[in-house]
Structure 1
Amino acid sequence: MKMKLIGRSFTLLLFTVVLTMIFELHAEEELRPYRLINADKLIINKIEGEYITNLFGNVHFFYGDTEFFSDKAEIFELQKIVRMHGNVKVYEDTLSLHADNVDYFRKNERLFLYGDVLAKETHKDSTIRTFKAVEVEYFRNTREFFAKKNVITYDERENMHGTCGELKYFMNDDYGYLMKKPILSIAKKDTISVSAEKIEYFKDYKKVAATFNVKTFSKEFIMSSDFLLYFADEEKAVYLGEPKFTSDLADAEAIEFRIFFEEQKIKKAILLDSCYVQFSEAKDQSKKSWAIGDLMEFNFEGGNITFCEAKGNVNSYFQQETIKSRNFSANNAQGEHLIIEIDGQNKIKRISMKDKVHGIYKFKHKDW
């Protein structure tokens, strides 16, 4: 009888020990929501009720659905903070983050990356969008991405390059903007670049908006304005706010410019309201010819104007210098409809003025 009691007591004690171990293991898992895959060395300290896990060498773990790699990591388990140092890599869905250092705040799902940061987003078509910066903040729940200091961004699909001092990207909305001396460039042979105080992009750069002190520049021209809207599908740019166009052969002003591009070269330009253009036939000549109108349209080939049409309250002056095949001429004419045709050498082939025409015409033969 006594042996039976001892046996029952031992069984009860063993059951209690096992149950206690199960509860402790469960509590340990609750306390540590991360899953450690590898570390060369692990040290756990308890300081003022806080468990601090130090991981060294080839560190690899999951915290929730996010995967982390680093040379060293400190995990503050109650505060749910992880500090990682050395060759840090973070992988989450279509986003990968690399940096010298990363602090992860689990409670508000905030990642703070600093020191040689590279972020890469992979699109559905396998093309990538990258961001380089000194500092980056990424909020996992809202998928908001903020980059600071020497920011460089690149979009492979749209072939866009950007630089700035500060960038914000709202991934769920596919909307972002560049500030602090931003420059956005189309990275092809004949590059067109835009600078402004602020540049916004929408839907994979399908629309770009630039505001205040806007400059668009290429090898062939410089365009300045207060506001720019660019529509990628139409390759169309709309300039507002005292827009001005400058090139070696022509200068222009109007209330609004609409410029259409083809392979980063101007194909057509439409000027609306209070249009003024002055131009020359050669780069080394002063721009003595000019035209004014309510609406003007220009066609371009290879960066040169081949056709000009002006409508409404047209006033014009054209001066053509003497060359072997042509005598000097100058004419000042007014009308309602002006057409100018220009050859491949930037020489005027034909001038036609219609409706309510009047003016003064001067000619000088080269032998006079």
Structure 2
Amino acid sequence: MKIAVDAMGGDNAPQAVVEGVEAARDLYPDLEFDLYGDPSKVEPLINNSDRIRMIKTTEEISMGEEPVRAIRHKKDSSIVRAARAVKEGKADAFLSAGNTGAILAAGLFIVGRIKGIDRPGLTSILPITKPGAKRHNFVYLDSGANAESKEKNLVQYAYLGKFYAEQVLGVANPRIALLNNGAEEDKGDKFHKAVWQQLNALDDLNFIGNVESGDLLFGKADIIVSDGWTANAALKATEGTAKMIMSVLKDGILHGGLRAKLGYLLLHPVFHRIGQKMNTSTYGGAVLLGLKAPVVKTHGASDSVAVKSTISQIRTMLKTGVIEKTVEFFDPEAKVDKPTKNA
């Protein structure tokens, strides 16, 4: 299995990318890597070139560039070249920590979407924070690929999330919920009410109803679907709250005197476990589900651990054949009418 890697994307590139790739290479003997980027910056960082090939590119897409324009005009950028390698069958998956919009555009316009999928959804794996929860994470989509969505898009996201949860996370009959402004059936605007009705009518989905943003990390569902605008806003509000709490705790410890500092020392193992649970490096990257091959965006600030975790995530996707199973389901020529509860 070969992964095309944008070695130039991300705040800590190319060093964190190379270190993460080498760590994954050492861990998984069935993986090979093509690194796309500037050889003068990347090659000195490679300690062992076994199963790692350097492919020279002459352009880079920066974080602030307009995505579609960038991929159309910078044909020799590391993002475009890596995506094209997947399109041409020279690699099985594409990984980058670079410009999110450019990665999404390259995935959509170069790698291509699966027949039957109108709009691919950006899929994040988020932690479950409820003490004693049986699961440690859940599937969340669309987390930002599409600012506007139609009802059928969210229904498709439910199926995409189901395939991912079953094949990659190993969840049998995953519970699916709709992100809404209330848990009751009649909550939300016309759009969300209509989506609720459509999801509830499908007998091959384990739809459990609405979930509020305040319960996002409490493990009430294995998959939470939403339009990209709402999901992204809720996710950023949750991340901001978590950062604020950590900042307040840090300030309290620093200015709380000797007793606060002693308390911190005693509770240090607890804080470490919390930090590990909330660390995005643990859960891999965001997958653009609905494309013909794995296209995965890891966080722009990813370190080598996050890169390695994301590669592990891609490897699982390739080994389980989740994309092939999704293609088989959504291809209009192979798809059958979905059963409904009223049928």
For normalisation by structure 2, the TM-score amounts to: 0.23
Rg: which structure is higher?
1
For normalisation by structure 1, the TM-score amounts to: 0.22
Structure richer in helix, relative to its length: 2
Structure richer in strand, relative to its length: 1
- Which structure has more relative contact order (CA 8 Å, sep 6+)? It is 2
